[in-house]
Amino acid sequence: MTEEERAKRRKMTLEILKTFRLMDDPFMSRVFQDDIECGQLLATIMTGRDDITVTKVITQHEIKNLRGRSVRLDIHAFDHARRDIDIEIQRAKKGATPKRIRYISSLMDANILVQGEDFEDLPEQYIFFVTENDVTGLHQLYSPVEKRIGKSLTIPYDDGIHIAYIDSSQADDSPLGKLMHDFRCRNTEDMYYPLLKEKVRYYKEDDKGEIIMNDLFEKYLQEERAEGRAEGKGEMIVNMLKEHMHLDAIERFSGWSAEQIRALAQKNGLAVE
């Protein structure tokens, strides 16, 4: 690749970077990685608790299962009381299933207790599925999963696991609604929370941040190609189409053919320029 080609590719990467939101995997992962302040903001708002003190945040945290399937958590936070908080950003409906949550929960718990600890020592666990659209059919911002016992289902079944679906498309003027607005926002100036606004601005508008994101995005694309994750790349291409990027630019950047891109555009009711 010549210097001119590299310069064109970098310019194209930065154009796409400007369209990214916190709902987009590679961008979200960079923004929240190791950022305790941002993790604290998410944990406080999503749990509705003011007694949580986040001590560690890991993005794309892989929890290995030596005898079976491992899982990768989008945003994994821990607090001073050993509370375990998982925030999954779910763009596609098919990934937000109860059995997936069950499996994630089981692996989060698997290695917490040490020899001699009682089952009652298991810390509280929070799993939030932040979705692009309404996957529950309830048309509401926050949908907690309630567990109850008995024929009348009036007695809470408290196993310390708290699960909730958060529909970002139902953003309102509540603290959680404003947070979801910021997750879906492409324009930094339109964001509500100063902490998130400054972090997003750094990676979108600051030269040093842009260089970091450019390198990470190139690595992300290479991994996408190597692992054949067509669904994730398809979401990226849909974003490009929504921003009216030209077909030849999308072809060069994504590695997809013109026919594949046109078919995806037609499926999503988008025009190709």
Q: What is the pLDDT of residues 58-70, one digit of tens each?
A: 999 999 998 899 9
Question: What does the alpha-carbon distance between residue 14 and residue 121 come to, in Å, rounded to a whole number?
Answer: 48
Place of tokens 């079944």: 157
Q: Tell me the pTM.
A: 0.81
Give the angle 31-36-38 at the CA atoms, nearest 5°. Answer: 50
Q: What is the pLDDT of residue 256?
A: 82
- CB burial of 213-228 (b: ≥16 within 10 Å; e: otherwise) equals bbebbeebbeebeeee
Residues 120-137 have a mean pLDDT of 95
Query: Tens of pLDDT along 140-168?
Result: 999 999 999 999 999 999 999 999 999 99
Q: 31 near 231, Cβ under 8 Å?
A: no
Query: Tens of pLDDT along 187-199?
Result: 999 999 999 999 9
Q: In sequence order, what are the beta bridge partners of 90?
A: 131
Residues 24-40 have a mean pLDDT of 92
More confident of the two residues 259 and 76:
76
Q: Give the pairing of strands 84-90 and 125-131.
A: parallel
More confident of the two residues 228 and 31:
31
Range of weakest confidence among 51-55, 122-126, 151-155, 233-237 = 233-237
Q: Mean pLDDT in the chain?
A: 87
- CB burial of 157-173 (b: ≥16 within 10 Å; e: otherwise) equals eeeebbbbbbbbebbee
pLDDT reading at 228 higher than 60: no
